[in-house]
Amino acid sequence: MPDPKQATILIGEVGGRIVAFNVVQSILHIGPAWIDEAYRHDGLWREPMEEMKKEFERDGHNGVMLVAMNLATEYIAEFLGMKRSQGVLFLRDFESGGE
């Protein structure tokens, strides 16, 4: 269910009857992140991720997303208790005109 503080619901009506709706939601996104290559395999990422998990729970966000572009990031997503999306993610970058 969309959080009313973080979402806008657009309604389409015909003759006073709702025939369509669309929800625009603000969802927390993790990233980008970077760790110097020399430190990537010593667990340095774990402490900030533990803090991030606490932040999600404390602030009551209704969801979070992470775009995993490599196996290491997939591992972090699993560490955070995230599930693989069933759909296809579509993006639009407004700053570059959607290119």
The whole-angstrom separation of Cα 99 and Cα 93 is 7
Query: pLDDT averaged over consecutive 10-residue blocks of the chain (99 residues)?
Result: 77 93 79 76 79 76 80 85 86 68
Residue 51's contacts (CB-CB under 8 Å, 6 or more residues apart) are none
Residue 30 parent element (H or E): strand 28-30
Give DSSP secondary structure letters for 45-96. THHHHHHHHHHHHHHT-S-EEE---SHHHHHHHHHTT----SS------TTT
Residue boundaries of the structural domains of the chain: 27-79
| pTM of the complete model beyond 0.95 | no
What is the model's pLDDT at position 31?
A: 75
Give the integer Cα–Cα distance in Å for 56 and 53: 5
Residue 13 confidence (pLDDT): 94
